[in-house]
Amino acid sequence: MDGAASKRALFEDEDRAWSELHLLVDSLPVDKVDQPGYFQEGWSAKDLIAHIGSWLAEAGVVLERIRSGTYDRQEIDVDAMNQAFYDAMHDVPFSVVRAQGVASRNRMLRAWRSLPEDSPEADRWIRKAGPDHYSEHLPRLREWVNKLAR
């Protein structure tokens, strides 16, 4: 697969998984979106969307750094960042969380498309924050939505 076809396939994977994620969350009754239990730690579906939106925002920042030549690949303390994202977003209303997620995704995709040349590191961040990340959460989200629908 050439670079353009590979990038197109990655975009399609991201879009498909994003759509499924939101179809599942949108299928929940409004009063269930922030019900704890999605994760044992007490996360709700709203917390999941905040978590994903925060990582999409982080990916957007990284892609801007790649574009400007200031990116320095470093190890990330994922657990610490997850906790910081949770602390920052847990008390935010779902409507704001959802808007933040959509805006972060749009920014990330715009930054990715604006890269002057193909970048394996940028594609890695797209996969990491996008389709691979969504896929990590989709099985449990499907279970949670089914449980709440009963």
Question: Quick check: 40 pLDDT over 90?
Answer: no
Q: Answer whether residue 125 is part of any domain.
A: yes
Nearest to 46 by CA among 85, 82, 89, 8: 89
Question: Quick check: 42 pLDDT over 90?
Answer: no
Average pLDDT over residues 38-60: 94
Question: Quick check: 54 pLDDT over 90?
Answer: yes
pLDDT of the residue at 146 = 93
Q: Which residues of 71-101 are buried (b: 16+ CB within 10 A; e: fewer)?
A: beeeeeeeeeeeeebbeebbeeebeebbebb
Average pLDDT over residues 14-27: 96
Average pLDDT over residues 120-140: 95
Q: Answer whether residue 113 is part of any domain.
A: yes
Q: Answer whether residue 67 is part of any domain.
A: yes
Give the model confidence (pLDDT) of 84-125 as tens digits.
Answer: 999 999 999 999 999 999 999 999 999 999 998 889 999 999
Domain containing 106 equals 11-17+45-149
**Top-confidence residue, 25 or 118:** 25
Q: Answer whether residue 25 is part of any domain.
A: no
pTM of the model: 0.93
CA-angle at 15, arms to 10 and 20, nearest 5°: 130
